């Protein structure tokens, strides 16, 4: 809503413009009237709408045409004053003043006009019969009021109507010629209805109506008042009330009725509560609330945001199959001005066998948007009405800004839930297959993906020591010379090469040596297409020797050419390394390939130290292979070790052996 209102009074000389202003200020008719009143400002606390109001007078004797034009351009509303006992002043309204004002204002944003018939105390008849045809001819005329500056009749009402014409204009809402609401108003109110329809059954029941009333007007409706509202709708239309609830048609009818009865402020209060401006567009302040994000911090959805998104999913999952069909997804996004998710989203997150986005995939896509483009996430939450449904100041309340990553590294623990893994490799190395494998798609399913529906991202959940985390894979285009900081910034790096292509590994080696050899970012080399015959790489070192030289984990074999979904073990390892980059040390059993060293270092971290002994045994059971258990070198070193960890490890080993 506007922060102030500027009212301009124009009209023929001697019609009483100045007298109206002075009578309003002094609450009595002035004995002496100057040619022109000075501009006055009425403070917000004494106006009905609590908005400062500036009232400007015009005098043909004191002001030039140029000054008049300037005032017209600055005015929010113009009162054309005529004398009810002077026919010539009435004729001038249409022959001079309205054409003059329209010439000086933009056609698409005409300033509202109020026709003011002054000196009603001098006549016994009304001028309304003459004025009504003029009002019907010009849509920019908001209303007409007859008043008297002498006996103070309708003076306050005059300026209230002028203020109301600015703050609650009829033009954007209603077409007097058609006697119905305008399409833009219907569209806005339809979105409001769908947001307020919490169970998506097409009806606002009593609970939903009360929530709507409380949200917009801060007071609930009494049961009898609810029934009275529904009875008004029942009397005027047959399908406005269904199952004792208000339908969309009934909801729109009520607002049409408010507007027709001059209660525009009711509809405007609703529209503004749901984020709309005077042009019935959602405001930038509503869609993009202020959110400060310091450097090296990431953005995630908090618990309340996930609960809200879960309720939105449940609201539209009509068949309760934990997936959104194309029709259900379209229905969910009806409150958006455009379709926000394209076909690439179906190849970014998990889907069912029919290719529909699952519940997990749905939450994953929201997590992805929040991480990569938090402003877009705020916009989307605004369309869904997050701040209204959750009764928050703005949708910024849905976002958690994580701690600086440097602090996480210093403390050797993190509270983050989303970790980014950049996937790099030469063309044809298997990067896309690696991403799709994370979503559970084998080679057969991947071949069905259209090229124009391809995604360079994949996101899903993994479990690291019982904690659910999101791993975001990003396929970086293999333009070695043009890798930007954004391409390189991540929590863990995947360097993918094609095991059957002798030229493939060289790209991985060059990228590692140029960008990651001296960084603290953990790196893993993936030997993709491991179902094919392994070719000798042309690079000077074999992948295994390269990893040994640079103290990396040995290349991890991976293939999508499986009957079922590809194994997810590698993705869990990646998430673990992203969570605990400080655990990247030499292997404790000197085999230089097992993950026991990671477990050892985790046991010394503050986070894992607080976990119960039962979880320890689960971790070891998961990560120690039979070969590790029989490794004599490990037991030799463990037996001679004089640390508490060695004793505990031996005890756990005996317990595991007995259990097996």
Give pLDDT tens digits for 452-472: 999 999 999 999 989 999 999
Is the Cβ–Cβ distance between 23 and 34 less than 8 Å?
Answer: no
- Within 10 A of 237 (CB to CB), how many other CB atoms are there? 14
Q: Using CA atoms, how far apart are residues 28 and 535, in angstroms rounded to an integer?
A: 101
- Encode burial over 44-66: b for 16+ CB neighbours within 10 A, e otherwise: eeebebebbbbbbbbbeeeeeee
- Token readout for 636 is 């030799």
Tell me, what's the pLDDT at 499? 96
Least confident of 112-121, 410-419, 585-594: 585-594
C-alpha triplet 198, 202, 206: angle, nearest 5° = 60
Closest by CA position to 217, among listed 255, 168, 273: 273
On whether the CB atoms of residues 487 and 476 are closer than 8 A, the answer is: yes
How many whole angstroms separate alpha carbon 653 and alpha carbon 615? 14
User: What is the rounded average pLDDT of the residues 378-390?
Assistant: 97
Above 70 in pLDDT, residue 85?
yes
The better pLDDT of the pair 139, 434 is held by 434
What would the pLDDT profile of 110-156 be if each residue is shown by its tens digit? Answer: 789 999 999 999 988 888 888 989 988 888 888 899 999 999 999 99
Predicted TM-score (pTM) of the model is 0.82
Q: Which of 16-30, 386-400, 514-528, 639-653 has the lowest mean pLDDT?
A: 639-653
* Helix (H/G/I), strand (E/B), else coil: 494: strand
Please report where in the chains the tokens 């001296």 appear, as a residue. 518
Q: If you average pLDDT over each of 374-388, 562-576, 605-619, which comes out highest?
A: 374-388
> Residues 297-326: what's their mean pLDDT?
96
* More confident site: 657 or 518: 518
Residues with Cβ < 8 Å from 245, sequence gap 6 or more?
201, 203, 204, 205, 206, 208, 209
Q: What is the pLDDT of residue 236?
A: 92
Q: What is the mean pLDDT of residues 52-58?
A: 94
Name the residue with tokens 């049409």: 256
Confidence bin at 46 (pLDDT 50/70/90): confident
Phi, psi of 63 (to 5 degrees): -120, 150
Residue 203: its pLDDT value, please? 96
Residue 278: CB atoms within 10 Å: 18
Tens-place pLDDT, residues 12-27: 999 999 999 999 988 8
Average pLDDT over residues 368-384: 98
Report, as an integer, the average pLDDT of 289-306.
Answer: 95
How is 391-446 classified by DSSP, letter by letter?
T-SSGGGGEEEPPPHHHHHHHT-----EEEEEEEE-TTSSHHHHHHHHTT--HHHH
Closest-CA residue to 276 (of 265, 266, 286): 286
Band (379; pLDDT cuts 50, 70, 90): very high
Least confident of 352-361, 520-529, 574-583: 574-583
Contact 605, 413 (CB under 8 A): yes
419: its two tokens: 């970790």
Q: What is the pLDDT of residue 135?
A: 87
pLDDT band, residue 613 (cuts 50/70/90): very low
Rg (C-alpha) for the chain, rounded Å, is 36
Give the pLDDT of residue 598: 46
- Residue 286 has what DSSP assignment? H
CA nearest 546: which of 480, 592, 482? Answer: 592
What average pLDDT does the chain have? 87
Which pLDDT score is estimated for 648?
54
List pLDDT tens digits, range 521-561: 999 999 999 999 999 999 999 999 999 999 999 999 999 99
Reading phi first (left if > 0) and then psi (alpha if -120 to 50, else beta), residue 548 is in alpha
Q: Residue 282 pLDDT > 60, yes or no? A: yes
HEC-encoded secondary structure of 116-181: EEECHHHCCCCCHHHHHHHHHHCCCEEEEEECECCCCECHHHHHHHHHHHHHCCCCCCEECCCCEE
Q: What is the pLDDT of residue 586?
A: 37
For residues 408 and 386, what is the distance between their CA atoms, to the nearest angstrom? 31
Rounded-to-integer distance, Cα 299 and Cα 26, Å: 58
The mean pLDDT value for 425-441 works out to: 95
CA distance 480 to 457: 19
Q: For residue range 462-507, list pLDDT tens digits in order.
A: 999 899 999 999 999 887 667 777 778 899 999 999 999 999 999 9
Beta sheet of 241-242, edge-to-edge order: 203-204, 245-247, 241-242
């Amino acid at each position: 809503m506007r922060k102030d209102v500027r009212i301009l009074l124009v009209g023929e000389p001697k019609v009483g413009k100045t007298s109206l202003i002075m009578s309003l200020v002094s609450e009595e008719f002035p004995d002496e009237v100057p040619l022109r009143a000075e501009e006055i400002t009425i403070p917000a606390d004494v106006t009905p709408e609590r908005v400062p109001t500036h009232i400007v007078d015009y005098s043909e004797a004191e002001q030039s045409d140029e000054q008049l034009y300037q005032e017209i351009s600055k005015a929010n509303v113009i009162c054309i004053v005529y004398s009810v006992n002077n026919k010539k002043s009435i004729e001038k309204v249409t022959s001079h003043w309205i054409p003059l004002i329209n010439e000086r204002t933009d056609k698409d944003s005409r300033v509202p006009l109020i026709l003011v018939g002054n000196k009603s105390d001098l006549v016994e008849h009304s001028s309304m019969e003459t004025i009504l045809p003029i009002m019907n001819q010009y849509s920019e005329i908001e209303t007409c009021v007859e008043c008297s500056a002498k006996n103070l009749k309708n003076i306050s009402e005059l300026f209230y109507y002028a203020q109301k014409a600015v703050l609650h204009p009829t033009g954007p809402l209603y077409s007097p010629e058609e006697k119905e609401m305008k399409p833009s108003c219907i569209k806005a109110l339809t979105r409001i209805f769908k947001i307020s329809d919490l169970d998506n059954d097409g009806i606002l029941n009593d609970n939903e109506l009360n929530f709507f009333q409380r949200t917009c007007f801060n007071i609930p409706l009494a049961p009898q008042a609810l029934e009275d509202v529904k009875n008004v709708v029942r009397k005027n239309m047959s399908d406005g009330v269904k199952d004792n609830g208000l339908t969309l048609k009934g909801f729109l009818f009520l607002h049409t009725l408010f507007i027709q009865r001059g209660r525009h402020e009711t509809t405007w209060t609703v529209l503004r509560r749901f984020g709309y401006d005077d042009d019935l567009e959602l405001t930038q302040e509503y869609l993009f609330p202020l959110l400060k994000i310091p450097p090296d911090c990431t953005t995630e959805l908090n618990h309340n945001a996930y609960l809200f998104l879960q309720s939105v999913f449940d609201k539209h999952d009509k068949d309760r199959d934990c997936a959104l069909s194309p029709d259900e997804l379209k229905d969910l996004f009806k409150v958006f001005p455009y379709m926000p998710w394209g076909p690439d989203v179906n190849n970014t997150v998990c889907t069912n066998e029919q290719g529909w986005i699952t519940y997990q995939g749905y939450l994953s896509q929201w997590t992805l948007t929040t991480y990569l483009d938090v402003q877009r996430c705020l916009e989307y939450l605004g369309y869904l009405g997050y701040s209204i449904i959750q009764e928050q100041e703005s949708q910024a309340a849905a976002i958690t800004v994580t701690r600086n990553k440097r602090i996480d590294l210093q403390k050797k623990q993190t509270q983050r839930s989303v970790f980014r893994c950049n996937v790099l490799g030469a063309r044809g190395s298997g990067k896309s297959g690696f991403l799709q494998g994370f979503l559970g798609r084998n080679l057969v399913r991947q071949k069905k993906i259209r090229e124009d529906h391809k995604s360079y991202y994949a996101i899903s959940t993994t479990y690291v020591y019982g904690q659910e985390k999101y791993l975001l894979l990003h396929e970086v285009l293999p333009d070695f010379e043009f890798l930007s900081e954004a391409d390189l910034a991540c929590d863990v790096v995947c360097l993918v090469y094609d095991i059957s292509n002798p030229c493939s590994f060289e790209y991985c080696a060059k990228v590692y040596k140029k960008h990651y050899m001296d960084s603290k970012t953990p790196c893993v080399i993936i030997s993709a297409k491991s179902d094919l015959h392994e070719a000798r790489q042309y690079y000077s070192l074999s992948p295994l020797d390269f990893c040994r030289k640079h103290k990396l984990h040995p290349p991890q074999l991976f293939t999508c050419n499986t009957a079922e979904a590809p194994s997810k073990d590698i993705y869990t390892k990646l998430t673990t390394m992203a969570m605990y980059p400080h655990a990247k040390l030499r292997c404790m059993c000197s085999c230089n390939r097992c993950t026991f060293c990671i477990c050892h270092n985790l046991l010394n971290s503050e986070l894992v130290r607080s976990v119960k002994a039962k979880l320890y045994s689960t971790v070891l059971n998961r990560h120690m292979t039979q070969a590790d258990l029989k490794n004599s070198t490990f037991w030799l070193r463990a037996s001679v070790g004089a640390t508490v960890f060695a004793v505990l490890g031996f005890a756990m080993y005996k317990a595991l052996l007995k259990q097996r």
